[in-house]
Amino acid sequence: MTKVSKVDKKVRSTRDKVIKYQILTYCFFKNIKVSTTELELLTELSKNNGIEVNELCQQLSVKSVYRTKQSARNAITKAEKKTLIIKNGDARKKRVYISEDLNIQIDGIIFLDIKVLGE
Give pLDDT tens digits for 35-66: 999 999 999 999 999 999 999 999 999 999 99
Percent of the chain residues topping a pLDDT of 70: 99
How far is it, in rounded angstroms, from Cα 105 to Cα 112?
A: 9
Domain map (residue ranges) of the chain: 36-102
How far is it, in rounded angstroms, from Cα 115 to Cα 2?
A: 18
85-88 and 95-98 as β-strands: parallel, antiparallel, unpaired? Answer: antiparallel
Nearest Cα to Cα of residue 38 among 9, 81, 88, 6? 81
Look at domain 36-102 and name its CATH class. Answer: mainly alpha
pLDDT band, residue 27 (cuts 50/70/90):
very high
